[in-house]
Chain A
Amino acid sequence: MALKVNVNKRKVIAGENEGKEFFYGNVVTDGTMEFDELCRQISTACTITQADVIGVLEALRQVYRSHLLNGDIVKLGGVGTIRLTASSRGVDDKSNFHISLMKPARLIYRPGKHLLQAAQEATFRRNAQHVVKDECPLPHTGDF
C-alpha cells in the first residue's frame, strides 16, 4: 500500500538551476476504484447492505445538489467540504449590472481531516517497470 513513483528528467524552469536538467519523482495513479467496488467495500465495513449503500449515496447526491444550488457549504464528513462560487465581469456602475455578466459557477472542494491525514501518512514506492524518458538503457557507439 504505497503511492507509485516514476522518476523523470525535467528542465528546471526557474531559480538558480534554471536550464539544467534534474531528476524528479512524480506520483502516478495505479488503476481506479469504481463506484460498485466502493459500495461493496462500504457494505462489508458496516451493517448496511450494498443495495442500501447505493440508495444512501444516491439520496446524498440529491441533498447536496439542492444545498449547493442554494449557496450552502456542504460538509461531507471526513471526505471534505464542497461549495459553489462564482464572480462576474466588471461594470462601471452598479445599475449597469445584469445577471448575464456572471461567470460560470465553480465548485470549490476542500479535503476533510481524514483525507488530509491519509495524504500525510501516504508512503511511496518506486515504479520498477518505469524507464526514465530520454535515457535509453542500451549502450551507444561513442559512449566509450
Chain B
Amino acid sequence: MALKYSFIERKIPAGDLKGQKQWFAQVKAGDEIDLDTLAQEVSGQCTATSADVKAVLNSLVNAMTTAMQSGKVVQLEGLGNFRLSAGSEGAADYSDFSLNLMRPARVIFHPTKRLKAIFGSVKYREEKIRILDVNKECDREHIE
C-alpha cells in the first residue's frame, strides 16, 4: 500500500532559485474505484449486500442534498464536513442588494482530523517510467 510517484524536471517559478531547473517527485493517480467495486468490497466487510450498500449510498446523497440546500453542514463521520457556500456581486447601496446578485453555490468539503491523520501513514514507491529521449542522436546506421 503506497502512493506511486514519478520524477519531473521543472523550472522554479519564483524565489532565489528562479529560472533554475530542479527535479520533483509527483504522485501519480492510481486506479479508479467505481461504485460497483466499492459496493462489493464494502459488502465483504459487513453483513449488508452490495445492493444494500448502493441503496445506502444513494439515500446518503439524497439526505445530504436536502440538508445542504437548507444551509446545514453535513457531518459525514470519517470523511468530513460538507456544506454549500456562495458569494455575490457587489451592490453600491444596501437597498440595491437583491438575491439575484448571488453567484451559484459551490460545494465545500473539509476533511476530518481522523482522515487527515491517515495522511501521516502514507508510503511512497517510485514508478519506473522509461523516458525516450527523442533529441538524443542515434548512433546506428540508417537506411537511406
- A77 and B35 contact, CB distance less than 8 A: yes
A97-B23 contact in complex given A22-B90, A60-B38, A66-B1, C-beta closer than 8 Å: yes
Q: Give chain B's interface residue range (CB within 8 Å of chain A).
A: 35 or more
When chains A and B are docked, how far (Å) is the Cα of A42 from the Cα of B102? 31
Chain A residues within 8 Å of B41, by CB: 63
Residues 45-72 of A, flagged 1 when their CB comes within 8 A of B and 0 if not, give 1111000110111111111111111111
A35 and B76 contact, CB distance less than 8 A: yes
Chain B interface main SS type: mixed
Q: Which residues of B contact A (CB under 8 A)?
A: 1-5, 7, 10, 12, 17, 22-35, 38, 41-43, 45-48, 52-94, 96-97, 99, 101-102, 104-107, 109, 111, 115-116, 118-124
Complex contact B74–A33 (CB within 8 A):
yes
**Residue from A42, A63, A71 in contact with B63 in the complex, judged by beta carbons closer than 8 Å:** A42
A46 to B5, CA, bound (A): 42
Mark each residue of chain A from 70 to 108: 1 if its CB lies under 8 Å from any CB of chain B, else 0.
Answer: 111111111110111111111111100101011011110
23 A-B contacts (beta carbon < 8 Å): A3-B86, A24-B90, A25-B88, A27-B105, A32-B72, A32-B74, A35-B76, A38-B64, A48-B55, A56-B48, A59-B48, A61-B78, A70-B1, A70-B3, A71-B28, A75-B38, A78-B57, A80-B109, A87-B27, A99-B124, A107-B111, A119-B104, A120-B104
